[in-house]
Amino acid sequence: MKHILLCGVAALILGLLLLRMRGHVNSASSTSWSGSQAAARGEPETTGPDLLLDPATDISRSDVAAQPDLPADSADLDLAGLLAAIARAEAAGDERSLEGLLVRIVGDRSRLQDVLAFLESDEGQTSAVERRGGVVAIAVAFARWSRGDGPEGLDGPGFCEAVLQSLPRQPRESRELLIGFLVGTDHGEVPAIPGRMLPAILSLCRQHPDEAASYARLLDRLGQDPRALADHRGELMSLILEGQDEPLVGPALRALLALDPSSGAATARSLLDGAPPGSALQKLLVKSIAVSAPAAIAVEVLVAASDGSDFAAYAELARRPEAREELRNRYNALVAANLDARARRNLVASMSREETGTLLGIGGTDPHLEVRRQAFLTASVSRDIGLEGLRSIRDAYARRAAQGGIDARCAVLSASNVALRSTGPARDEALGLLGDIARDASLSSFERQLALSKLRPHVPRESLADLEALEPGGSQAGK
């Protein structure tokens, strides 16, 4: 009994000594991204999801030997072999093997440094499979340690900054793949890239303007979690106001609008005043405002600043329920006074979630042809408008020579939309209208050929035998 007690006490003392030694080794470590530099900077050591603090998933405490399902002979693999094995496990979606392999890198500070050096090496010396394995390992380590200290006291955020700084030194293929993985890694909806990486990302963009569009993807991902950038509003604002780094303006503006829609919208509007008409910057501003600005402001910008070709912005506005009443009211006010047909057309193009009857009504009554055309196209492209809708198109086309109708081109494209989206009698009538227009000798060959091109995918070739002359090179082509 005495012996058992003595053994127990000895084991306890030995265990305590080992723990102290481990702590000593940790505190003595210091590479560029080792040691708890986050604490020295006075930053919170963990600001992210609690999973990073979960002891059950902390690789640094994992026992490699106890990892299940390790591939046979994997212990003997050199770095390249280990990375290739990681890539294969990843390709097979084998999570358990992948964990077993990754733990040797993600939990080992010097191995992480080796993998970064491996990714920076000349493509000729490494295989694509090995590089993919390296990218997977670094992305997982990045996600693991970006918000806290890693194994052996590794400074997690410092390591992540080193990963970002390594990107320009990597061959293009590795760099793009790693950026893709960093962007695509998250926990739930929280991106792996923490907000405190913003200065490092901006620095990359500015130091390497030719590759800024690639690095801007990191910023864009960061901006999808506005909380991550809550402490960086000032930097976002100055980035937007500088306005020169176009790849960065969009992500910065989206982030700012998500954080603070009112002040973000005010900033975007002031920029819009100075943006050259039709420029990429103007289009970007209009779209960003359509996505996130308060609905009244977004509709106002659509009316005042869109040149009529911002269809992605119109689609963004259409999907916002709170904008629908604003769009409808604005249209009604303008049409009552018969004002600004261009603005009315933009508004109608943004009403794809409006009721079918409302859109068909605009198509039948608006005083301006462009607006009527847009109403029929918006209605027919966004849903199955059925037989009633097709008949509205036919009626409007029948009035083409009179006030309030639509021309053959609009009738063709609208009927073609119905043929794509409808079945049964509506589709049959749509094909019938296309056939009528293709056979109408009073129309231009352009209009007839357009109808024929929309009809052809839906009907047997022999049913169009009488229209052969309309085909390019045919006797009626070009008339």
Partner 1 sequence: MNFAPKHAALLLAIAAAAPTVTAQCPNLRAVNRAAHWEGSDTGTRCRRVLSIFGLTIGLGSSFCPDVRFLYPARRDCMAVPDAGTDCEKIGEVGLERWECSCTTLIDVDLGLAEQSCNCTLQGNESMFDDHATIPCSTP
Please give the structure tokens belonging to residue 4: 């058992």
Q: Is 347 in the site for partner 1 (CB under 8 A)?
A: no
Binder among 34, 35, 37, 90 for partner 1 (CB under 8 A): 90
Q: Which is nearer to partner 1, 51 or 341 (CB)?
A: 51
Query: Cα dist. 399→402, 407, 409, 427, 429 in Å?
Result: 5, 9, 14, 22, 18
Residues 6+ apart with CB under 8 A from 181: 135, 136, 138, 139
310 residue type, one letter: D
Which residue do the tokens 């303008």 mark?
334
**For residues 393-452, which are near partner 1 according to CB under 8 A?**
409-410, 413, 416-417, 420-421, 446
SS3 192: coil
Q: Which is nearer to partner 1, 57 or 263 (CB)?
A: 57
Rounded Cα gap, residues 477 and 458, in angstroms: 21
Which residue do the tokens 């086309």 mark?
397
Q: Which is nearer to partner 1, 94 or 206 (CB)?
A: 94
Other residues' Cβ atoms within 10 Å of the Cβ of residue 169 = 13
Q: Which is nearer to partner 1, 69 or 231 (CB)?
A: 69
Is the separation of the CB atoms in 125 and 100 below 8 Å?
Answer: no
Q: Is 183 in the site for partner 1 (CB under 8 A)?
A: yes
Q: Is 186 in the site for partner 1 (CB under 8 A)?
A: yes
Q: Which is nearer to partner 1, 257 or 467 (CB)?
A: 257
DSSP string for residues in 2-63: HHHHHHHHHHHHHHHHHHHHHHHHHHH--STTBS-HHHHTT--S--S-GGGG-GGG-GGG--
Is the separation of the CB atoms in 422 and 381 below 8 Å?
Answer: no
Q: Is 296 in the site for partner 1 (CB under 8 A)?
A: no
* Stretch of residues binding partner 1 (CB under 8 A), selected from 23-31, 153-161, 305-313, 386-394: 305-313
**Backbone torsions φ then ψ of 474, nearest 5 degrees:** -75, 170
Binder among 373, 429, 435, 438 for partner 1 (CB under 8 A): 373
How many angstroms separate the first and last alpha carbons of the chain? 112
Q: Is 98 in the site for partner 1 (CB under 8 A)?
A: yes
348 residue type, one letter: V
Binder among 104, 109, 254, 427 for partner 1 (CB under 8 A): 254
* Stretch of residues binding partner 1 (CB under 8 A), selected from 97-105, 205-213, 268-276, 331-339: 97-105
**For residues 122-161, which are near partner 1 according to CB under 8 A?**
136, 139-140, 143-144
* Stretch of residues binding partner 1 (CB under 8 A), selected from 86-94, 119-127, 163-171, 389-397: 86-94
Residues of this chain that bind partner 1 (CB under 8 A): 51, 54, 56-57, 59, 90-93, 95, 98-99, 102, 106, 136, 139-140, 143-144, 180-181, 183-188, 192, 254, 287-288, 291, 309, 311-312, 315-316, 319, 349, 373-374, 377-378, 380-382, 409-410, 413, 416-417, 420-421, 446
